[in-house]
Amino acid sequence: MKSFNVPSFYRSPLISKLKLHYKTQDPHRKIKQPFILNTETCAIVIARHFGFCYGVENAIDIAFKALHEHPGKSIYLLSEMIHNPQVNSDLRQRGVQFLNDTQGNPLIPLQTLKSDDVIIIPAFGASLEVLSAINALQLQVHTYDATCPFVERVWNRAEKLATSQHTILIHGTFNHEETRATFSRAVIQNTPVLVIRTPEEAAYLAECIKHNADDGEFKTRFTGRYSPGFEPSRDLTRIGVINQTTMLASETQHIADIIKSALEIRYGSEALKLHFAETRDTLCYATNENQEAVLELRNVCPDMVFVIGGYNSSNTSHLVEICESVCPTFFIEHSDCIQKTQIHHYNLHKKNIENSMWPHLPQYPKIAFTSGASCPDAVFEDVVFKVAQHFNLNANQVTTYFNAL
């Protein structure tokens, strides 16, 4: 796999050592079990896969390449490079300006840019509408395109579904940058497109497929999430499912199964192939690996788990959802969230920040850690050290344990 020039301050000697250990012992990435470091006062449990993925490292490499090659020039990102506050803050401090927020709302008018300004496309890609607006102003953009190749793979899948005259059903969050970009590319293929978020919405679609939809109810329920001219009675007869690459794999499969079952009921098993496209999962490898690694934590039975990443990170949020079924889970952005008596964390369900007391733990607790695909290893290391302090271990002691690998 290609290697990238990621700045050293995002790296961690500790985590690099662990990843090198796995690279040597498990070159084909077959091991699923977490790494367990037994210290004097606690067990430190680290999920097998976590942290920066290919697409994120590629995006960071491209952003710093743009900074290096254009000193003194105005450099702009279409939106956040990735959903990680430390990385985005660091880019801002280096002079990179953001043209839009994560919802696509303008922060800087495109009309104010000059033809020699530098524009970077983030890892999520960009919608065709945004690219058209840039091209209309004769601004250069494609030199620094950091779109994740796994996102582009989804776009290619959408094109194939359009060619075979299937309606494209996108499992994702409509206001997410990646889904907006995918939606715009699907729509231009002149095929019906619909974005859904939950299995409950898929169940409603199943009823529409089996019994024909009430047009008014359908369009009210999915306002703003379907392509122009979408007609449920016509456009829910041949369907292929793709997804935002950071969604829960199990949820995407569940949605596809619901739709497939409804089409089979309506058209019969023999005709099913004409109505449902068997698309292999379009999640990226890192999303799959990170989710599978978190599921493996169940076999260890940790007493608590820290999930590290940006609060607006989709892939990190899904890791939290999985961990919550295992043990007390704390979604944090960095080590400052960990205090002596309290943990400053994000409640995924209430959508707010909370301060919680440390949970009651056994005499020798097992503390687990994982992080989203956009979390720097340096941040991960800081959290491990901070938690270790809570159990009377300093950084040197933790490092000594890791050096025994």
Average of pLDDT values for 210-222? Answer: 90
Average of pLDDT values for 231-257? Answer: 94
Q: Are 208 and 182 in contact (CB under 8 A)?
A: no
Residue at token pair 């989203």:
372
0.75 surpassed by pTM: yes
Average confidence score pLDDT of the chain: 94
Q: What is the model's pLDDT at position 165?
A: 95
Q: What is the model's pLDDT at position 154?
A: 95
At 270 the three-state DSSP class reads coil
Residues with Cβ within 8 Å of residue 101, at least 6 apart in sequence: 79, 107
Cα separation, 294 vs 303, in Å, equals 14
Cα separation, 373 vs 309, in Å, equals 8
pLDDT tops 70 at residue 1: no
| Helix-then-strand count for the chain, H and E | 15, 15
pLDDT tens for each residue of 299-347: 999 999 999 999 999 999 999 999 999 899 999 999 999 999 999 999 9
* CA angle, residues 270, 276, 281, in degrees to nearest 5: 130
% residues pLDDT > 70 (the chain) = 99
- Band of pLDDT at residue 285, cut at 50, 70 and 90: confident
Lowest mean pLDDT among 83-92, 135-144, 157-166, 206-215: 135-144
Interior/surface letters 246-270, b for 16+ CB within 10 angstroms, e for the rest: bbbbebbebbbebbbebbbebbeee
Residue type present at position 22: Y
Q: What is the model's pLDDT at position 281?
A: 67
Residue of 200, 285, 287, 278 whose CA lies nearest to 247:
287
Cα separation, 244 vs 259, in Å, equals 17
Lowest mean pLDDT among 171-180, 205-214, 262-271: 205-214
- Band of pLDDT at residue 139, cut at 50, 70 and 90: confident
Q: Is there a catalytic annotation at residue 178?
A: yes
Residue of 341, 405, 342, 331 whose CA lies nearest to 372:
331
List the domains of the chain with CATH numbers.
8-53+286-403 (3.40.1010.20), 54-145 (3.40.50.11270), 150-283 (3.40.1010.20)
Q: Which residue is catalytic, options 57, 178, 289, 333?
A: 178
